Amino acid sequence: MIKARGLARRFAARGRTVDAVKGVDLDVAEGELLGFLGPNGAGKTTTLRMLTTLLRPTSGEATVAGCDLRKDPVGVRRRIGYVAQGGGTAPEYKVAEEIELQGMLYGLSKADARRRGATLTEQLDLANLDHRLTKTLSGGQRRRLDIALGLIHDPKLVFFDEPTTGLDPQSRANLWEHIRRLRAEHGVTLFLTTHYLDEADSLCDRILVIDNGEIVAEGSPNSLKSRVSGDGVEIGVPAESVAAAAEIAGRLEGAHEVTCLEDTVRFRVPRGDTAMPELLRALDAADIGMTAMQVHRPTLDDVFLTLTGRTLRDAEERTGEAAEPEEAAHVA
Ligand SMILES: Nc1ncnc2c1ncn2[C@@H]1O[C@H](COP(=O)(O)OP(=O)(O)OP(=O)(O)O)[C@@H](O)[C@H]1O
């Protein structure tokens, strides 16, 4: 469904350049639910916008839904759906009107747009909201309307940009259910970007992890997690004792990937629960008071940590290094 080779995008403005995406290769099979995971600023949206023809690549080639991205962008647009971040609903329209209009923009007759809209609103639990103004919808309802709009022309490939950002946990879980069902019932291929680990873990067949514009890992959630060996341990200690505590942790049997932060030491051991008593005794003997402790099974965040030396959370804090926005001139 998607094959991209060396896809890259450089932004340049006021003498500064940002290589937002640095030669990405992608293969997405028909019917797959692929997650594109990475921290803020990693290059997810830029990649997505290139694949959906909204942004011209600086270099590289891609075939999307059977059409060449550079030679036939109109063909690509006709065959894909795009559910953007933040959505694009018109506030003064009623739900049914907006869906109908979107269908007609894609060349459906009014009757076909209505029929298709009715099926989608039914499937997305929006059927009793037909006459509501879109501005009165809740966050979850609005996202479901965005999905209906993205699917109105029956595309076989749908891109979602951070579909559940800003939703409460219950609405997120509900939207995941809808996304799963759409795949099962319509046989669509789904490509979604997210920076939520639980979303990628629970929803996706396969995950591509992107950092600093490059793919750093790829695989099913379980195969990615199995790359991380042992439990993750995080202990809080006074800042002046961090180095000594790290040395003690490093002496535990099988301890590895010991990293120090301001008042925290992180490391991995084969069994976190059995290593703890020994660690406590050793810290006690060195007169180091532990202020906090966490032990956890490998997560996708650990995969990211193992690959990049930082957690996704740390990576998200390091944003705002971009060049000035440079927009319309490069829109295809
Ligand atoms: N129009 C632009 N002009 C200049 N720099 C840009 C532009 N668009 C994106 N960038 C920069 O390119 C990098 C990648 O941005 P992108 O939006 O693709 O990241 P992202 O992974 O989607 O992040 P988020 O999760 O915050 O949406 C960032 O450093 C970003 O600031």
* CATH number of domain containing 267: 3.30.70.120
Given the CA of residue 324, which atom of ligand 1 is nearest to it?
4
Quick one: 203 and 259 in the same domain?
no
Q: Ligand 1: which of 10, 22, 44, 327 to mutate, most ligand atoms within 8 Å of CB?
A: 44
Residue 315 domain-assigned (yes or no):
no
CATH code of the domain containing 146? 3.40.50.300
Quick one: 188 and 247 in the same domain?
no
Quick one: 125 and 213 in the same domain?
yes
- Predicted pLDDT of residue 316: 67
Quick one: 56 and 155 in the same domain?
yes
Query: What is residue 215's three-state secondary structure?
Result: strand
- For ligand 1, which residues put their CB under 6 angstroms from it? 11, 13, 18, 20, 38, 40-46, 195, 322-323, 325-327
- Predicted pLDDT of residue 88: 62
Quick one: 162 and 140 in the same domain?
yes
Quick one: 59 and 181 in the same domain?
yes
- Predicted pLDDT of residue 326: 45
Q: Ligand 1: which of 10, 14, 18 to mutate, most ligand atoms within 8 Å of CB?
A: 18
CA distance 209 to 313: 14
Residue 326 domain-assigned (yes or no):
no
Helix (H) or strand (E) holding 4: strand 2-13
- Predicted pLDDT of residue 125: 84
Quick one: 215 and 282 in the same domain?
no
Which ranges in the chain belong to alpha helices (H)?
Answer: 44-51, 73-79, 95-105, 110-123, 139-151, 169-186, 197-203, 221-225, 242-250, 272-285, 300-308, 312-317
| Buried residues in 156-171 as b, exposed as e (16+ CB within 10 A) | bbbbbbbbbbebeeeb
Residue with CA nearest ligand 1 atom 17: 45
CA distance 148 to 146: 5
- Predicted pLDDT of residue 318: 60
Quick one: 171 and 221 in the same domain?
yes
Hey, what are 261's tokens? 């932060």
CA distance 168 to 322: 29
Residue 313 domain-assigned (yes or no):
no
Q: How many structural domains compose the chain?
A: 2
Residue 18 domain-assigned (yes or no):
yes
Q: How far is CA 261 from CA 134, 169, 275, in A?
A: 46, 30, 21
Given 165, 199, 225, the domain boundary residue is 225
- Predicted pLDDT of residue 320: 44
Domain span holding position 261:
229-296
Given 208, 225, 242, the domain boundary residue is 225
In the reported structure, the alpha carbon of residue 20 is separated from the centroid of ligand 1 by a whole-number distance in angstroms of 6
Angle between helices 139-151 and 95-105 (to 10 degrees): 30
In the reported structure, the alpha carbon of residue 79 is separated from the centroid of ligand 1 by a whole-number distance in angstroms of 26
Given the CA of residue 42, which atom of ligand 1 is nearest to it?
21
Residue 316 domain-assigned (yes or no):
no
- Predicted pLDDT of residue 89: 64
CA distance 257 to 212: 22
Residue 319 domain-assigned (yes or no):
no
Angle between helices 272-285 and 242-250 (to 10 degrees): 130
Q: Which residues of the chain have pLDDT under 50?
A: 320-332
Quick one: 95 and 134 in the same domain?
yes
Given 176, 192, 225, the domain boundary residue is 225
Residue 187 domain-assigned (yes or no):
yes
In the reported structure, the alpha carbon of residue 160 is separated from the centroid of ligand 1 by a whole-number distance in angstroms of 16
CA distance 244 to 13: 46
Quick one: 174 and 262 in the same domain?
no
Quick one: 15 and 147 in the same domain?
yes
- Predicted pLDDT of residue 23: 93
Hey, what are 293's tokens? 């402790």
